[in-house]
Chain A
Amino acid sequence: MSFGELGLVALCLYVVAMLAVTEAARRARQDFTPADHFLAGRGLGAFVLFLTLYATAYSGNSLLGYPGEAYRRGFSWIMSTGFMMAIIVAFHLLVPKLRPVAVSRGFLTPGDWLRHRFGGEPWGRAVLAACALLMTWALANFLLAQLVAMGHVTEQVTEGLLPFWVGVVGLAALILFYESLGGMRAVAWTDAAQGILMLAGLAALLGWVLGDSGGLASATRAIAELRPEAVAVPDAREKANWVSTVLLLGLASVVYPQAIQRIYAARSGRSLAHALAWMSFMPLATTTVVFLIGIAAIPRLAGLEGVEADTVMPRLLAEWAGEGPHFAALAALVFVGALAAIMSTADSVLLSLASLVAIDLLGRPASDPETTRVGKRIATGVMVVAVLLALAPRLTLWRLIELKMELLIQCVPAFLIAIHWSRLRAGPTFAGIVAGSALAGGAALLGTKRIEGVHVGVIGLALNAAIALAGSAWAAAQAGRVGSGGVATPSASAR
């Protein structure tokens, strides 16, 4: 049996397993309310929550893109472990204060917090609309990237037996199927299964790469001979970029809608805290492993330049598969693990996107079962458009949607500052979002992604936060308010 045929069998087994999990989730459904569909009835326990957070946070890019980045940049890419862990650290700023408000008031979407916090102010709706648009943009971008990755992985794992378009269309249809049938419960359970698959695949690959390279020390010495700059201490600009990347990824990922909705979906605060405690170790178990795989590829696959470096993972797997049938089976497992990572991110993104559009942008009532049906129709529509775009990735639009974290991070003041500082007002917050987004988006579109190593998104956030803080302080002074801040005071009750 060739590697492609083996990959096809593994892919089929994976699809069957996902369908079985979907059926179990469908049977566990309690009702047709949006809370049951979008948040699994708010009943996710620590273990499932941990695995769904894990599978959602680690996308296809984490497994397929990061080895290429480690190959290109060398050892300074150890920063990837730091920025993935920063997400779990930054959650300390949000979870303990957002969770009790969210549970008490039955929040369903990120917009519910904004309605609660700014709803009674003249600019409250503007803040909600701005954040909902930025989040929708980021999610749509993310979904599209996952669909393209799904096509490539399908093609690679089956050695072309299934072409790119079959991967995109077929797997998109599978996601739509299990999501429509089982909602968040199906997404979380399939994520859990997919998370286990990812871990198994990565452990096997790392064992092979390091064993075959004669150990880490000999790989490092070989890299020092071949590419001394990959081993050298980073310069000032790279160090600034290290800090900036930790801030950008750590803060922007905290306001990802699918992450916020998992805060709402937890069975209890204790389950959530335990899941996040376990998540602290996953960057070491995943990102560091992927980093080491990319590093070990430098002497093995010398001479890859530019975007060619993104093919590091498939090339390594192809080499591995060539060493015998057992290795081919393990390589197929890693490929399916990567596919699982992509699928689990795509399904969570789609579910969040549907709820965000239905409730935050279209204003559908959160308690109406009809909202669930509207959400499913939106998910189908979004998926159809995304599949069409994924099949034509050379569109100009492709360049525009590269902006993601730079824009998403502009929502941070409306969440992280608003939840800690009661005097933050909607007007200055909205002005900050507009200014920060214009700066970050404008600079990125003009081709400037970083200034002296610092991401334009982080610079935009600094401007954004300065406007929000100064404007709110000025408004408070104008109103003659005195006293210290403290915990945020909602300006209106939740819908």
Chain B
Amino acid sequence: MIRRALLAGVALLYAASIPWYRDPGSPVEVWLGLPDWVAVALGCYVGAAVLNALAWYRSDVPDREAPPPSGPPGEGP
């Protein structure tokens, strides 16, 4: 559940990294040495890196296949 929430956060940050919220040609300010929309994109990617790393730390990557469940064919393993 937490892993899914982290990955949803990554997806949201990716969506926010692209400057949909700004019109082409609108005035640009300098933030942290970068054009404001670039600083926002970079901030989103820093956030995405942190959330994605946490998601990997919480990921269960098994080394063996789970035994097949007893159920109708076509719905395992």
Q: List the interface of chain A (C-beta within 8 A of B).
A: 75, 78-79, 81-82, 85-86, 88-89, 92, 95-96, 99-101, 103-105, 215-217, 219-221, 224, 231-236, 239, 242-243, 246, 268-270, 272-274, 276-278, 280-281, 283-284, 288, 422-423, 481, 483-484, 486-487, 489
Query: Is A246 within 8 A of B14, CB to CB?
Result: yes
List of A residues within 8 angstroms of B18 by Cβ: 239, 242-243
Q: How far is the CA of A277 from the CA of B75 in the complex (A)?
A: 31
Query: Is B46 within 8 A of A82, CB to CB?
Result: no
Minimal beta-carbon separation of B9 from chain A (angstroms): 11
Q: How far is the CA of A269 from the CA of B64 in the complex (A)?
A: 9
Interface string of B11-49 (1 = CB under 8 A from A): 000100111101111101010111101100110011011
Minimal beta-carbon separation of B32 from chain A (angstroms): 8
List of A residues within 8 angstroms of B20 by Cβ: 239
Closest to B68 in A: A489
Minimal beta-carbon separation of A97 from chain B (angstroms): 9
Residue pairs across A and B with CB atoms within 8 Å: the count is 141
Assuming the contacts A278-B53, A483-B72, A489-B74, asked whether A221 and B30 have C-beta atoms less than 8 A apart, the reply is yes
Query: Is A487 within 8 A of B77, CB to CB?
Result: yes
Assuming the contacts A231-B28, A232-B28, A233-B19, asked whether A277 and B53 have C-beta atoms less than 8 A apart, the reply is yes
A-B pairs with beta carbons under 8 Å apart, 7 shown: A103-B63, A215-B33, A220-B33, A233-B19, A239-B18, A268-B63, A269-B62
List of A residues within 8 angstroms of B32 by Cβ: 216
Q: Is the interface of A mostly helix, strand, loop or mixed?
A: helix
**Quick one: which of B7, B41, B64 contacts A82, CB cutoff 8 A?**
B41
Minimal beta-carbon separation of B13 from chain A (angstroms): 10
Assuming the contacts A82-B17, A220-B30, asked whether A92 and B59 have C-beta atoms less than 8 A apart, the reply is yes
Minimal beta-carbon separation of B61 from chain A (angstroms): 3
Q: How far is the CA of A119 from the CA of B50 in the complex (A)?
A: 39
Count of B residues near A, CB < 8 Å? 46
**Quick one: which of B41, B53, B61, B62 contacts A280, CB cutoff 8 A?**
B53
List of B residues within 8 angstroms of A105 by Cβ: 65
Query: Is A216 within 8 A of B33, CB to CB?
Result: yes
Query: Is B64 within 8 A of A103, CB to CB?
Result: yes
Q: Which interface residue of B10, B22, B61, B65 has the most chain A CB atoms within 10 A?
A: B61
List of B residues within 8 angstroms of A96 by Cβ: 59-62
B66 within 8 A of A: yes
List of B residues within 8 angstroms of A231 by Cβ: 28, 35
Q: How far is the CA of A95 from the CA of B26 in the complex (A)?
A: 42
Minimal beta-carbon separation of A115 from chain B (angstroms): 16
Q: Which interface residue of B22, B37, B50 has the most chain A CB atoms within 10 A?
A: B37
Assuming the contacts A92-B55, A236-B24, A243-B18, asked whether A284 and B33 have C-beta atoms less than 8 A apart, the reply is no
* For the complex of A and B, 9 pairs with smallest distance between CB atoms: A216-B33, A269-B61, A277-B56, A217-B33, A280-B53, A100-B62, A235-B24, A277-B53, A104-B65
**Quick one: which of A82, A85, A220, A233 contacts B22, CB cutoff 8 A?**
A233
Minimal beta-carbon separation of B38 from chain A (angstroms): 5
Closest to A210 in B: B33
Q: How far is the CA of A388 from the CA of B45 in the complex (A)?
A: 41
Q: How far is the CA of A269 from the CA of B76 in the complex (A)?
A: 21
Query: Is A269 within 8 A of B53, CB to CB?
Result: no
Q: A220-B34, A269-B60 are in contact. List 11 more A-B contacts (CB 8 A).
A: A81-B45, A89-B52, A95-B61, A103-B63, A103-B64, A224-B28, A232-B25, A236-B24, A273-B59, A483-B75, A489-B75
Q: How far is the CA of A252 from the CA of B61 in the complex (A)?
A: 22
List of A residues within 8 angstroms of B38 by Cβ: 75, 78
**Quick one: which of A215, A484, A489 contacts B76, CB cutoff 8 A?**
A489
Minimal beta-carbon separation of A199 from chain B (angstroms): 16
**Quick one: which of B46, B66, B74 contacts A481, CB cutoff 8 A?**
B74
Query: Is B19 within 8 A of A101, CB to CB?
Result: no
List of A residues within 8 angstroms of B77 by Cβ: 487, 489
Query: Is A273 within 8 A of B49, CB to CB?
Result: no
List of A residues within 8 angstroms of B66 by Cβ: 100
List of B residues within 8 angstroms of A89 by Cβ: 7, 10, 14, 48, 52
Minimal beta-carbon separation of B26 from chain A (angstroms): 6
**Quick one: which of B34, B46, B57 contacts A284, CB cutoff 8 A?**
B46
Query: Is A233 within 8 A of B14, CB to CB?
Result: no
Q: How far is the CA of A75 from the CA of B38 in the complex (A)?
A: 7
Minimal beta-carbon separation of B40 from chain A (angstroms): 10
Query: Is B56 within 8 A of A85, CB to CB?
Result: no
Closest to B73 in A: A489
Q: Which interface residue of B17, B18, B32, B64 has the most chain A CB atoms within 10 A?
A: B18
Q: How far is the CA of A448 from the CA of B67 in the complex (A)?
A: 48
Assuming the contacts A239-B20, A283-B49, asked whether A486 and B75 have C-beta atoms less than 8 A apart, the reply is yes
Query: Is B28 within 8 A of A233, CB to CB?
Result: yes
List of A residues within 8 angstroms of B49 by Cβ: 85, 280-281, 283-284
Assuming the contacts A85-B52, A487-B76, A489-B74, asked whether A100 and B24 have C-beta atoms less than 8 A apart, the reply is no
